[in-house]
Amino acid sequence: MPELPEVETVVRDLRPWIVGQRIRAVQVGPKQLRHPWQSAWTNRLLGAKITALTRRGKWIIAELDRPERLVVHLGMTGQLVVVPASEPIADHTHVIVQWDASPHELRFRDVRRFGSMTLHANDAELQAFLGDRLGPEPFELTDADLARGMKSSERVLKALLLDQTIVAGVGNIYADESLFAAKLHPQRRGQSLSDAEVSRLNAAIRGVMARAVAQRGSTIRNYVGGSGLKGGFQEEFAVYGRAGEPCRVCATPIQRVRLAGRATHFCPQCQAPWSDG
């Protein structure tokens, strides 16, 4: 599932292929993504040059040489890839962007259509949109930021980590992995955390994210980077998807429960539920 490391990998892969390219054509399929494509968007994109490709949380942002911003969210099964235009079009391909001077094209494929591709009018409007939804990036998150998000809440840690307004980019996999790395039980309440535990959690999130980005993210089912390459971090999972398997630290079987509506994996020994202050 594309979370921060996967989205970052897609952005890095795509950047050399599409930054500097001028849009010649946009083809949109009949099936709607999360938000319907407005036909006016196509006209506003034609002739525009991509000037930068960036990421904020799990959102991908294409800057243009005009005010509009093209924004993509991969949802659960979204894939954004650059391929030779001659390549057969895979099932569930919903948008194709073609360039003036390239034999390659950009394709957005999304089997379950939880993803979205939208055009925002300008950067200020986009920043307001993202600002309403996203807290700090993990690599910019201070202990004070995280403490503010955690210690004022009665919600369980798993739910708090999935809340994009507290820290942007963490999804189900990296929430579980971060809590293991921080030795915190996913069912602990935010307000039960000590300052030391908040600090540990912050370091854990950052460490897990850095290692996952270095491995080009995780491929569980169908995630691929912008060049079609799979990720490798799934080989390093400590808990996610390892229910019943021995903890890599203490050999205790990894437990799986349902928390905040999500499958949640943890080591009952390493992540004991009591506070250690």
Which are the catalytic amino acids? Answer: 2-3, 58, 262
Q: Which residues of 147-182 are buried (b: 16+ CB within 10 A; e: fewer)?
A: bebbbebebbbbbbbbbbebbbbbbbbbbbbbbbbb
- Write out the two tokens for 215: 């491995």
Question: What is the residue whose two structure tokens read 């949640």?
Answer: 264
User: Contact between 151 and DNA (CB under 7 A)?
Assistant: no
User: Contact between 226 and DNA (CB under 7 A)?
Assistant: no
In this structure, which amino acid lies at residue 38? Q
In this structure, which amino acid lies at residue 99? W
Taking contact as CB under 7 A, which single stretch among the options 18-26, 120-128, 164-172, 197-205 is the one that binds DNA? 164-172
User: Contact between 154 and DNA (CB under 7 A)?
Assistant: yes
- Residue 59 CB, shortest distance to DNA, in Å, is 7
Q: Which is nearer to DNA, 99 or 186 (CB)?
A: 186
Question: Distance between CA 258 and CA 115 in Å, rounded?
Answer: 24
Binding residue for DNA, selected from 5, 135, 138, 171, defined by CB under 7 A: 171
Q: Which is nearer to DNA, 26 or 74 (CB)?
A: 74
User: Contact between 30 and DNA (CB under 7 A)?
Assistant: no
Binding residue for DNA, selected from 30, 84, 91, 235, defined by CB under 7 A: 91
- Residue 87 CB, shortest distance to DNA, in Å, is 19
Kindly give the residue spans of alpha helices, DSSP state H, lying in the chain.
Answer: 4-18, 39-45, 123-133, 143-151, 157-162, 172-181, 195-214
Rg from Cα positions in the chain: 20
Q: Which residues bind DNA (CB under 7 A)?
A: 1-3, 31, 34, 57-59, 73, 75-76, 91-92, 111-114, 133, 153-156, 159, 162, 164, 171-173, 221, 258, 260-263
